[in-house]
Amino acid sequence: KFEEKHFKYIIVGGGIAAGHAAREFTRKGLQPGELAIISKEGVAPYERPVLSKSYLFPNGAARLPSFHVCVGDDEKERQLPQWYVNKGIELFLGTEVVKADLASRTLTVANGRIFMYRILIIATGSEAIKLTDFGVQGAHAKNIFHLREISDADELVKGMKRKKKGKAVVIGGGYIGLEVASAMRINDFEVSMVYPEPWFMHGLFTPAIASFYEKYFSDKGIKLFKGTVVVGFETASNEEVKIVKLKNGQVLLADVVVVGIGGRPLTTLFKGQVQEEQGGIKTNGLFRTSVPDVYAVGDVATFPVKRYGDLRRVEHVDHARKSAGHAVGAIKASEDGKSIGEYDYLPSFNSSYFDLSWCFYGDNVGEPMMFWDKSTPSTTKPKFVTY
């Protein structure tokens, strides 16, 4: 039905890594018509973190085009859809790749069109894990939301408008759980959080950090249900969620439920064709996969962390940006018969809730030492460092 499309470079996925890779290509030298980005999302690459924060705010909520990649770096660099046109980069939006054949270097998209490439960058990111994946009773009910893409955020915003100042149950004590619980509270919802661990952000926060943040959340009126999970939902006659049943026997009333129980890297298209490790696509320190001319970056890549001597997958923006830049640097250098050094990554994560924010660098090892600003936590501007 369609003519085959040929490109020198194709990026599958149109998220943060794709946007930053495109920018690096243009910096290193790109001819019009050489690069295509194929994305199942309907909009040009944007800074995903906004979705669980200011996108949900009751006043002055962020909306596109204000947070297209790379807004955080330099306003002038913001990659609006026209930027791709100006650079001769073809954006295929609302276009899902449904088949990848790495041996013949072809990709097939949902409408049957075939794309061929010389070099492929896999940047498919992650998908949200759902309670329906585990067959939790009633998990298909209306007003149960997940958050990964802008279309999910739009659904959540609509749900919040329908159930203004209602009861919100946030499931999961990780990144999404904390950020969304805070945003829902700012919207005057009565918020409860449910998570299986003894404290939230369990893998990252020390008990002392967690006790500060949990107190802060409780003081804001958020109820914390720890050490338990959801076993089922009950609905009203209109199929909207009404009751959340916990394993410990408690039941919570709910108008809106948001589930943030982790992400799963999107590797299915490439299964059996490329080496995998830790659920991701295994790469070397230049983000080359086991297949020649195929690179993987961002959430999907399992890469060597030089300073710790192991392999890891990192699901955060800093790495999505830097891995994309590094892969493009490696591609362009190899075209000139050169090489660049291996990726040397210092893990870096961040988050923000209410008027607080934190940054984490490095690895979570050893005995924590905490340095408090003397007036923390009674001050309105608490501050501390943990080493």
Q: Which is nearer to ligand NAD, 5 or 202 (CB)?
A: 202
Answer yes or no whether residue 205 interacts with ligand NAD by CB under 6 A: no
Query: Any contact of residue 146 with ligand FDA (CB under 6 A)?
Result: no
147 lines the binding site for ligand FDA (CB under 6 A):
yes
Residue 48 or 167 with smaller CB distance to ligand FDA: 48
**What is the C-alpha separation between 75 and 228, in angstroms, rounded?**
44
Say how many Å lie between the first and final Cα of the chain, rounded.
60
* Residues in CB range of 203: below 8 A, 6 or more apart: 364
| Residue indicated by tokens 């890297």 | 265
Residue 257 within binding range of ligand FDA, rule CB under 6 A:
no
Closest separation between CB of residue 89 and ligand NAD, Å? 27
Q: Does 41 bind ligand FDA (CB under 6 A)?
A: yes
Question: Which of 330, 338, 324 shows the shortest CA–CA distance to 296?
Answer: 324
Residues 49-78, interacting with ligand FDA (CB under 6 A): 49, 51-52
Q: What is the pattern of x (binds ligand FDA, CB under 6 A) and - over residues 75-114?
A: ---------------------xx-----------------
Taking the C-alpha atoms of residue 171 and residue 259, their distance in angstroms, rounded to an integer, is: 5
Asked whether the beta carbons of 36 and 90 are under 8 A apart, the reply is yes
- Of 255 and 299, CB closest to ligand FDA: 299
Closest residue to ligand NAD, based on beta-carbon distance: 174
Among 14, 166, 173, 174, binds ligand FDA (CB under 6 A): 14
Distance of alpha carbon 92 from alpha carbon 37, whole angstroms:
6
Q: How far is the CB of 208 from ligand FDA (least distance, A)?
A: 23
For 31-43, b/e burial (b = at least 16 CB within 10 A) is: eeebbbbbbbbeb
- The structure tokens listed for 210 are 């967690």
For ligand NAD, the binding residues in 306-345 under the rule CB under 6 A are 315-316
